[in-house]
Amino acid sequence: MKKVYSGSFEGIYAKTVTVETSFTKGLPSFSIVGLGNASIQESKERIKSALYANGYTFPPMRITINLSPSDLKKEGTHFDLCGALLIALQKEELDLGEYYIFGELGLDGEIKETSSLFALILSLAQSGELSKAIVPASALEKLACIPNAEFYGVANLKECISFFTSNETLLPASANAFNHPFVQTKRGKLFYQDHYPLDFKEIKGQEHAKRAALISATGMHNILLEGSPGCGKSMIAKRLRYILPPLDMDEILGNAKLNALEGIEPDFLPVRPFRAPHHTSTPASIFGGGSTQSKIGEIALADGGILFFDELPHFPKNILEALRGPLEDRHIMVSRVNSKIKYPTDIMFIAAMNPCPCGNLYHQHQNCRCSDVEIKRYTNRLSEPFLDRIDISIQMQPVSSEDLSTLSSAQMHTQVFEALKMREARQQFKPNGKLSDEEIADFCTIDEELQTLLHRAVEQFGLSFRSVNKSLKVARSIADLAASEQIQKEHLLEALSYRRREKR
């Protein structure tokens, strides 16, 4: 009995699947067992046709292919090559167990790439299970970007069989290097994009909001933009993506994996994800779900990047309240009858809203048409526990004809890089906005004078323990932008000014 290895997804993580076959005497039959879906069952006909087309006979025996573990649901056509190879080499004394094998078969024996192949192989490589793999030649270029693994490309079934039976040595694909600009840090190269499809210089005025956006990008802080329609809230949100901290190679590959899971061809650009679901989206589309098997949602697809909610109060209250957990814990558990999957949600949350239903409450030239009851009902859609998860809240000013363009994205990105160097110099390798309570005590220390100031702010504005920690993290980002090793009074005061609060 021979066996080879392949893989299948459980949620967004891949697990190794052992493919083994047996040949027994009896009436000729061919079956595949091990919780394979319809596409796997259909592979029997593709395997038969590919073997016949390439001059191989189909043994007149009872052939059983088992996909183990049997309690893991398996789907995909990439198991075709495993089955055909095991049948073709049944009489050969070969050890095939060192290689993982992937590929869909055409009726003529051509080996084809599948849509989920890159994400599947990357997940197995990152877990350390896969070190050598036989893959379709058409997928070799992008798979070569995956480090610490050897990939051998084959175009058809004959080439794959020859790889194991001939004395010729097929060299693995050369590893592809990322040809992007990078900054060298203590933890290696961090890559970034040095051109800006959406530039902050296109936004005129709004200097206070730009300053808040720069602080938010520096520490990956959650931010709420509030202002009249047309003042530039969405423009700022969409441009923030391009000035965020640079990415390491694992983060770029993680983004490519999320793209592949969504059916998008990976581009390997050093730009963080940006997801902007509409307020009519269902909870399952935001958080993931499914009737029997858990599927990934928008919040998990935004992992490592931005989740943007425009027109925040129009999102259903159950979605906003359910968002509290992932924003705080940075993961989400989706539980169904047959599966429980934990997804990472290490996101930067950006929200935009009007000050009232008509949007003209603070407008200098337009009259607000909303009653006090309507305004209160509108703002009450956002609970205090939800707003407490927002690090920075900014009130934007109406647009003026005298507004000028000032900072560009390139200038702001340079400041983010300088702040990154400050952070890494103190051996902090996590953005300030993502620090845990224990890490805040290590990296966001303040002297007695500032502790007294913070205590007064707590008493005057009723700040929660979470609000205090978020203010300290924002103050740390402000200090980094100012190239200050210690948090100063002006840094803490500015951080406190960004808290959304009610006076007692």
C-alpha to C-alpha distance for 176 and 151, rounded to whole angstroms: 12
Total tally of structural domains belonging to the chain: 3
Q: Does residue 178 belong to any structural domain of this protein? A: no
Check residue 335 and give its pLDDT. 80
- What letter does residue 448 receive in the DSSP assignment? H
C-alpha to C-alpha distance for 102 and 122, rounded to whole angstroms: 13
Q: What per-residue string of b and e applies to 9-27 under the rule 16 or more CB within 10 Å gives b?
A: bbbbebbbbebbbeeeeee
Q: What is the pLDDT of residues 272-298, one digit of tens each?
A: 999 999 999 999 999 987 665 667 899
Domain boundary among 165, 199, 221: 165
C-alpha to C-alpha distance for 164 and 304, rounded to whole angstroms: 41
Task: List the beta strands (DSSP E) in 295-390.
Answer: 306-309, 331-335, 340-344, 348-353
Q: Does residue 369 belong to any structural domain of this protein? A: yes
Residue 463, pLDDT > 70, answer yes
Same domain, 233 and 153: no
The residue among 201, 176, 175, 178 whose CA lies nearest residue 189 is: 178
Same domain, 262 and 402: yes
Domain boundary among 165, 199, 229: 165
Same domain, 205 and 151: no
The CATH number covering residue 332 comes to 3.40.50.300
Q: Looking up tokens 């906003």, which residue turns up?
A: 320
Q: Does residue 298 belong to any structural domain of this protein? A: yes
Same domain, 158 and 128: yes
Same domain, 377 and 497: no
For residue 501, name the pLDDT band (cuts at 50, 70, 90): low
- Domain enclosing residue 212, as ranges: 184-407
Q: Does residue 65 belong to any structural domain of this protein? A: yes
Q: Is 9 helix (H, G, I), strand (E, B) or coil?
A: strand
Q: Does residue 430 belong to any structural domain of this protein? A: no
Same domain, 222 and 252: yes
Q: Does residue 415 belong to any structural domain of this protein? A: no
Same domain, 207 and 333: yes
Q: Does residue 195 belong to any structural domain of this protein? A: yes
Same domain, 307 and 350: yes
Q: What is the pLDDT of residues 56-92, one digit of tens each?
A: 988 899 999 999 999 898 999 999 999 999 999 998 8
Same domain, 241 and 140: no
Q: In sequence order, what are the residues at sequence separation of 6 or more whose Cβ sits closer than 8 angstroms to the Cβ of residue 249?
A: 147, 178, 188, 189, 191
Q: What is the pLDDT of residues 365-403, one digit of tens each?
A: 889 999 999 999 999 999 999 999 999 999 998 888 788
Same domain, 224 and 350: yes
Check residue 292 and give its pLDDT. 59
Check residue 504 and give its pLDDT. 34
CA 472 to chain centre: 27
The CATH number covering residue 61 comes to 3.30.230.10
The CATH number covering residue 476 comes to 1.10.8
- CA R_g for the chain: 28
Same domain, 106 and 188: no
Averaged pLDDT for residues 318-325: 96
Check residue 291 and give its pLDDT. 60
Same domain, 118 and 198: no
Find out whether 353 and 311 touch, Cβ atoms under 8 Å: yes
C-alpha to C-alpha distance for 324 and 382, rounded to whole angstroms: 11
Q: Does residue 413 belong to any structural domain of this protein? A: no
